[in-house]
Amino acid sequence: MEIKNLAVFCGSSAGSDAIYIENAEKLGKELADENRTLIYGGAQVGCMGALANTSLNNGGKVVGVIPQKLKNVEIAHDHLTELHVVNTMHERKAKMAEMAEGFIALPGGAGTLEEWFEVFTWSQLGYHAKPCGLLNVNNFFDPLIAMLDHTIKEGFMNEDYREMIIISSDPKELLEKMDSYTPSYAVKWS
């Protein structure tokens, strides 16, 4: 099933290597080319801005969700298809999750990781069956993947949950994998 509405979590910074912006742009173009709606944090700076601008410039539909407090800090994008201004980060994440049929994290900081981990955790607990992907640009997520493997080895995460994470370094391949995702739910406590 093709995932039409994708929430993408990524940095409001550009990162230290041009490859991060380049891949945000590649994903933005791919989403537009495939007529998929981008749902993201609403900023016009950093990887967030590159992602949104490229999607818009290629005819894509882009929906931003930004808290009032961050509207000026993250510099809200004023040329989106839709911009939702909410009161809190909790409302931002809930609105994005409600609109999205799948979730992708691009490289980013603590906020990006926290947003992605929340929806991934919800998936583990059976609150949704939407695919959760990592665009592993420049091997950015390798240490995180190693840490998750360590949590399995140490008995803190079910091995089945690791299989729920969709990973690719190529935007087109990641979207294809997400489209063919079959949800599974492993009971944590038995």
**Model confidence at 176: pLDDT above 60:** yes
CATH 3.40.50.450 fits 5-178, yes or no: yes
* pTM for this entry: 0.95
Q: What is the pLDDT of residues 17-32, one digit of tens each?
A: 999 999 999 999 999 9
**pLDDT tens digits, 32-72:** 999 999 999 999 999 999 999 999 999 999 999 999 998 87
Tokens matching residue 93: 């994440």
For residue 8, the SS3 value is strand
pLDDT of 184 > 90? The answer is no
- Average pLDDT on 93-101 reads 97
Q: What is the pLDDT of residue 187?
A: 63
Does the pLDDT value for residue 15 go beyond 90? yes
pLDDT at 180 over 80: yes
Residue 106's closest CA among 161, 184, 54, 33? Answer: 54
For the chain, the structural domain boundaries read 5-178
Contacts of 6 by beta carbon, 8 Å cutoff, 6+ apart: 31, 36, 37, 38, 39, 100, 101, 102, 103, 104, 175, 178
The string of pLDDT tens digits covering residues 127-158 is 999 999 999 999 999 999 999 999 999 999 99
- Distance between CA atoms of residues 133 and 181, nearest Å: 10
